[in-house]
Chains A and B, each alone.
Chain A
Amino acid sequence: MFDTIMYPLEWCVANIMVAWHWMLTAVGLPSDSGAAWALSIVGLVVTIRILLIPLFVKQIKSQRAMQLLAPEMKEIQAKYRGKKDQASKEAMQRETMALYSKHKTNPFSSCLPILVQAPIFFALFRVLNYRIEGVDEAKPIGMLTEELAVEAHDATIFGAKLSDSLIGTWGDGDPAAIIVSIVLIIMMVATTFITQHQITRKNMPASALEGPMAQQQKVLMYALPFIFVITGPNFPVGVLIYWTTTNLWTLGQQYYVIKRNPTPGSEAEKAYKAKQAEKAKRKGQVIEGTSEDVTTIEAPEPRQRQQPKKSGTRSQRKKGSASPNQQPKDSQDKTSADEGEKKDDDD
């Protein structure tokens, strides 16, 4: 039954790889070279990640309104300041999450996209371990004929086969395969760590970095290389290439976001604003102009969605959006109180 579930995924993985291999040979790489087959794994990553870009864009957009909930977030933080017991920690997390969903914004990227990738990763694992084999043992699937499977099996990159793993080659004493595996494991650990560090330390609002969950994640982040030291040696070289490439892609994507589109309230945003201000200064523009521009793009739209009837006439609304930070605090409190009452009524 398990084989039946995995078959279509393996079919997809194998076909995407063969398609990339065909393109790479068309460009001039030798068909039986390790480079062609290793790059076809890179191509597999590129294909999958391109398909996932819409999810990524949606995720970035849902982080836009983070700044708006800063006052309410501060209230929650003040409420739980100094309370270290488990119940308060949980209550604080609950309130924070409720606040995110109320404002329809969330600093987290959601679970589904990563879990969609997990079976693909596993399918690749199986293709490399069981389908790409020597003569008589190869199990063809889709466009991956027996001929191609044997060719991929015998192809070497820096002396290592794609299906070699550190554990498998350790006994043979083949230095090339061992060195390639170790280098790739180190790269995998390094890229995973940097990606993690970049996302949690740089592009999360300060509010998301506080609390017990974040603290626990921080500890685990530093324990992570040890986990890879245990699992890494079991991974075939091809899987290590896949993992490292996908990390590099994530890193690039995040770098773009941090530079061009940072999460409001994060450290990356401070750097972004400073840079914008500097740029404006160099061009001789007024600094306030640029920084206000940023807020007016982000602030008014969700604010209107939140309380559209309150804004009154069009001219008043315009006046309001010109100075989004000067909204009287008590009116906001009143709104949330109203919402609370309304909710009770509905229930």
Chain B
Amino acid sequence: MTPAQLWSAILSLPQLVLMGLIRLYQVTISPILGPRCKYYPSCSHYGLDAVRVHGALIGPVLAAWRILRCNPWSHGGIDDVPAKGSPLFRRRQETSTETAVSLSTP
């Protein structure tokens, strides 16, 4: 193993730890709580993807923002992790567009 490889392995460690923690939550605590997420993919699944795609720094921020959005005032729906390079916190269009459209349908 070259030093560069070792270095990248160390750097990806926090990411793996976070993903492990989310998996742990999914198999232990999540079943106790039952299905409750309003979104697809669910918050924990989203968090897992977010950390996998965006790493241990941005991933958790995205996940936290998602959990804050998964509240009784939201309407849920489809909400995938933004692809790498695309804007992270853009206003989601699904619900708002649908609402606007259904209001303006003649």
A interface residue numbers (CB < 8 A to B): 55-56, 58-59, 62, 93-94, 96-98, 100-102, 104-106, 108-115, 192, 196, 199-200, 213-214, 217, 220-221, 223-224, 227-228, 231, 305-310, 335, 338-339, 342-343, 346-347
Task: Say how far B81's CB is from chain A's closest CB, in angstroms.
Answer: 14
Task: Say how far A95's CB is from chain B's closest CB, in angstroms.
Answer: 9
Q: What is the 8 Å Cβ interface bit string for chain B, positions 49-63, against chain A (1 contact, 0 not)?
A: 000000000000000
Task: Say how far A334's CB is from chain B's closest CB, in angstroms.
Answer: 9
Does B28 reach chain A (CB closer than 8 Å)?
yes
Counting contact residues on chain B (CB < 8 A from A), the size range is: 35 or more
Tell me whether A339 and B72 are in contact (CB under 8 A): no
Task: Say how far A233's CB is from chain B's closest CB, in angstroms.
Answer: 15
* Chain A hits for B95, CB < 8 A: 101-102, 104
Tell me whether A224 and B32 are in contact (CB under 8 A): yes
B interface residue numbers (CB < 8 A to A): 28, 30-40, 42-43, 67-68, 70-78, 93-95, 97-99, 101-106
* Chain B hits for A111, CB < 8 A: 36-38, 42-43, 67, 70-71
Instruction: Pick the contact of B101: A100, A114, A342 (CB < 8 A).
Output: A342
Tell me whether A59 and B43 are in contact (CB under 8 A): no
A16 to B88, CA, bound (A): 39
Instruction: Pick the contact of B78: A62, A94, A343 (CB < 8 A).
Output: A94
Interface centre among B28, B76, B78, B97 (most CB of A within 10 A): B76
Contacts between chains A and B (CB distance < 8 A), count: 128
* Chain A hits for B67, CB < 8 A: 111-112, 115
A21 to B70, CA, bound (A): 35
Q: Which residue of B lies closest to A100 (CB)?
A: B76
Q: List 23 A-B contacts (CB under 8 A).
A: A58-B72, A97-B38, A97-B76, A98-B94, A100-B75, A101-B76, A102-B102, A110-B70, A110-B72, A110-B74, A110-B76, A112-B70, A114-B33, A115-B67, A196-B34, A199-B34, A217-B31, A227-B31, A305-B102, A305-B103, A306-B102, A335-B102, A346-B97
Task: Say how far B64's CB is from chain A's closest CB, in angstroms.
Answer: 10
Tell me whether A104 and B75 are in contact (CB under 8 A): yes
Task: Say how far B80's CB is from chain A's closest CB, in angstroms.
Answer: 9
